[in-house]
Structure 1
Amino acid sequence: MSGNSVNDFMDAADYAIIHFGMINQDYLSDLGCKLQFLYDDIYRQTKINKKSE
């Protein structure tokens, strides 16, 4: 996975969490929590895969 792909993913995930998952600036909705969990899981996997290259 290229650096651009990771950056594109992070940008899209941040957008989704902010626009679809925020109740207000301090709280995530249930969808926001699920999006954040998914984001964290995928991001962690990209870091693990990048270390093994």
Structure 2
Amino acid sequence: MESKAQEVMGLISAEDLDLTEYSDALVYRIIERITVLSKEEIRIRFVGGFEITQPLH
């Protein structure tokens, strides 16, 4: 799991990005899929297989 997270971070840091605002280009590069689990929760799968579950507030 650690190496998958490092792979995602490598994609982010490999570019000279200004992360002060939303970037479609970055999202398309690092997010493979977003799954709606319920009206209160989503799962985000990043390139490389790293996944997180995130509550919606």
Point out the structure with the larger strand share.
2
**TM-score, with structure 1 as normaliser:** 0.44
Q: Kindly indicate which of the two structures has a greater share of residues assigned to helix.
A: 1
TM-score norm. by structure 2 comes to 0.42
